[in-house]
């Protein structure tokens, strides 16, 4: 990637321009603004580097009028925060944009106008990059904030009981600390723009009322990296049709191997000609199509015509197309349940939605689908009303299981096909994207885009050791990590913890791991096959068994990675790590927590959980 100055103003040599291009390519939005101030300081005569650095650091803290802090697990909160930052900046106001783990917590007491954009993960958890930020504000160390004006944009998923819980907690806690709501919190579901767009309009209006226009330090002509324009040709909103090269089940299907309860697929997709670039740790976004049999079942249950034309928003489509490609039909949401309970007169649904119905609601959201509720509690829906009530279909993100250095213009995925039977129903229940991918034969195309994950990166220093904890399909990014490290000839050691129910049927990429051990690409492999013995063994149990060595690796600078299920596995692994640090490091529970938080702040403890 390169950046060039406009031809009419280039008072530097080509060599200097090339050096400047390499520097600016590595900087994000905040870094570029900091650099512009630093350069302006030098131009005003601060020739001593240390003096200039200190002066600009002070200016960058004092100058911004609005601080935007975001916590993002999958990139949605980051995108919204960046959009708001750009709007405020374009309106002429000072703004600084910070990821939550980069925010200097000591500065909170001096903030005057703060906006937080934050998502909620799983069962009411903060994003990994905001964990310390949330704990600080919720804890005893948080200062009183009588001079702060704030607002929160909370992102969540209403198919989970703890919808937008983290945003709500921060909103309430900041008010407890004496801060004043600048404008009301927004609680956004997966159709984020429905809430985010008017919330941002309020934010911009509030900024215009309360803030002073920012006086620029210098007139700066933005550098425009031409290569990035080509790379962004295909995006989330304009996905690339990737051809399926391989779609292979890699769990046992009987015969000479034991039959597995899991249908896990290795899928290889071609990115040739797309210009899409990724690094190990990034995710591939997939725009799915709902299972056709499920769409047919919904139409039959509601006695609706799939060819009926339905207008909603700015689109007019046949109802079947709405249900196939535009609406979520495998996940229930609380808003839909509320509407359906009213239509059906269903006391059981009303009870689940009540203040005392948390357990029943959680069970309903986790274990039932739209078709189940429509059949159990019959009610009349028109085609237009149904489309308006259902949540928009959103893409699914999958950790990429390959290194581009090794596979070229391809992206490999490890997919668990969700399919299960329901008593009394000939049709199974499916997961939306996993079923779409499972029935995408070789030669078919899948709409995809790259979702970068800067928090989940291999260490830049190849001599550092890495500990990789990835049971089930959580092993996907670690296949990419090991490929990358081997191709780079990284000297650091690689230690993988993998688990699944059975060794004979569920040992994903078994031959690859065995070859990696022989070649030295993988240095240690610990396995936990939970159901191959009377008592269940999981990866967290193997971690405890190897606790002394795990702690020794961490003490010598190893990076630690966890990928997989957020609701159970990741929490159990986190608890095991705390126990290991306390036991083998001679630390209290609080000290062990601080140790892990410090690793996370250093970028040495990273999680990709879902």
Closest by CA position to 330, among listed 369, 359, 301, 297: 369
- Provide the pLDDT for residue 424: 84
Phi and psi for 208 in degrees, rounded to 5?
-65, -35
Inter-axis angle of helices 358-367 and 334-344, to 10 degrees? 100
For residues 286 and 396, is the Cβ–Cβ distance under 8 A?
yes
H/E run at residue 37? helix 29-43
- Which pTM does this prediction carry? 0.82
For residues 563 and 470, is the Cβ–Cβ distance under 8 A?
yes
β-strand pairing of 445-451 with 3-4: unpaired
Structural domains of the chain ordered from first start? 64-210 (3.40.50.360), 240-288+395-451 (2.40.30.10), 292-388 (1.20.990.10), 466-609 (3.40.50.80)
DSSP E strand boundaries for 501-589: 524-529, 559-564
Q: 485-508: string of b/e by CB count within 10 Å (b at 16+)?
A: bbeeebebbbbbbbbbbbeebbbb
- Provide the pLDDT for residue 413: 98
- Provide the pLDDT for residue 295: 98
- Provide the pLDDT for residue 43: 45
Return averaged pLDDT per consecutive 10 residues of the chain, 610 residues in all.
39 53 51 50 43 42 75 92 95 93 94 97 88 94 96 94 95 98 95 94 92 54 40 86 98 64 96 97 98 97 98 96 98 95 96 93 93 97 98 96 98 96 89 97 98 95 98 98 98 98 96 97 98 96 98 98 93 97 97 94 92
- Provide the pLDDT for residue 221: 40
- Provide the pLDDT for residue 610: 86
Distances (CA, A) of 78 to 117, 299, 408, 504, 602: 8, 37, 29, 42, 20
Phi and psi for 393 in degrees, rounded to 5?
-70, 135
């Amino acid at each position: 990637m390169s950046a060039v100055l406009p031809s009419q103003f280039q008072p530097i040599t080509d060599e200097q321009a090339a050096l400047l291009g390499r520097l600016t390519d590595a900087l994000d939005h905040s870094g570029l603004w900091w650099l512009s101030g630093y350069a302006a300081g030098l131009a005003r005569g601060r020739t001593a580097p240390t003096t200039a650095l200190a002066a600009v650091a002070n200016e960058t803290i004092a100058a911004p009028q609005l601080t935007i802090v975001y916590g993002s697990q999958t990139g949605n909160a980051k995108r919204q925060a960046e959009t708001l930052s750009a709007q405020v900046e374009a309106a002429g106001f000072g703004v600084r944009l910070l990821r939550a783990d980069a925010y200097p917590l000591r500065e909170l007491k001096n903030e005057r106008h703060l906006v937080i954009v934050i998502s909620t993960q799983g069962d009411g958890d903060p994003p990994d990059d905001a964990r310390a930020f949330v704990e600080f504000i919720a804890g005893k160390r948080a200062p009183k904030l009588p001079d702060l004006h704030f607002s929160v944009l909370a992102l969540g998923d209403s198919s989970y009981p703890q919808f937008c819980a983290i945003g709500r907690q921060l909103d309430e806690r900041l008010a407890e600390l004496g801060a004043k709501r600048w404008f009301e919190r927004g609680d956004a579901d997966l159709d984020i723009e429905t809430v985010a767009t008017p919330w941002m309009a309020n934010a911009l209006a509030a900024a215009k009322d309360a803030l002073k226009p920012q006086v620029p330090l210098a007139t700066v002509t933005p550098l425009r990296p031409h290569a990035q324009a080509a790379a962004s040709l295909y995006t989330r909103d304009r996905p690339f049709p990737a051809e399926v090269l391989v779609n292979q089940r890699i769990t046992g299907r009987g015969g000479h191997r034991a039959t597995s309860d899991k249908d896990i697929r290795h899928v290889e997709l071609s990115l040739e000609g797309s210009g899409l670039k990724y690094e190990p740790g990034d995710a591939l976004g997939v725009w799915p199509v709902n299972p056709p049999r499920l769409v047919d079942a919904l139409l039959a249950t509601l006695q609706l015509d799939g060819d009926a034309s339905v207008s909603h928003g700015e689109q007019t489509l046949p109802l079947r197309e709405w249900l196939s490609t535009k609406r979520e039909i495998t996940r229930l949401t609380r808003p839909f349940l509320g509407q359906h309970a009213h239509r059906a007169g269903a006391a059981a649904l009303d009870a689940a939605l009540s203040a005392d119905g948390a357990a029943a609601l959680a069970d309903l959201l986790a274990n039932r689908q739209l078709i189940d509720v429509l059949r159990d509690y019959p009610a009349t829906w028109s085609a237009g009303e149904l489309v308006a009530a259902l949540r928009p279909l959103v893409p699914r993100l999958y950790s990429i299981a390959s290194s581009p250095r090794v596979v070229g213009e391809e992206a490999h995925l490890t997919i668990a096909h969700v399919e299960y039977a329901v008593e009394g129903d000939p049709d199974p229940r499916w997961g939306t994207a996993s079923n779409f991918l499972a029935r995408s034969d070789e030669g078919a195309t899948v709409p995809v885009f790259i979702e970068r994950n800067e928090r989940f990166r291999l260490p830049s220093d190849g001599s550092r050791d890495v500990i990789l904890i990835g049971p089930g399909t959580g092993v996907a990014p670690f296949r990419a990590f090991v490929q990358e490290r081997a191709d780079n000839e990284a000297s650091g050691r690689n230690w993988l913890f993998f688990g699944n129910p059975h060794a004979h049927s569920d040992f994903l990429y078994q031959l690859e791991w065995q070859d990696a051990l022989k070649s030295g690409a993988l240095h240690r492999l610990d396995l936990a096959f939970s159901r191959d013995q009377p008592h269940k063994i999981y990866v967290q149990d193997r971690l405890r068994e190897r606790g002394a060595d795990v702690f020794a690796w961490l003490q010598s600078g190893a990076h630690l990675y966890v990928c997989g299920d957020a609701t159970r596995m990741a929490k159990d692994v986190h608890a095991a790590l705390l126990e290991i640090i306390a036991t083998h490091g001679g630390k209290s529970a609080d000290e062990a927590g601080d140790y892990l938080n410090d690793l996370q702040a250093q970028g040495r403890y990273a999680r990709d959980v879902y």
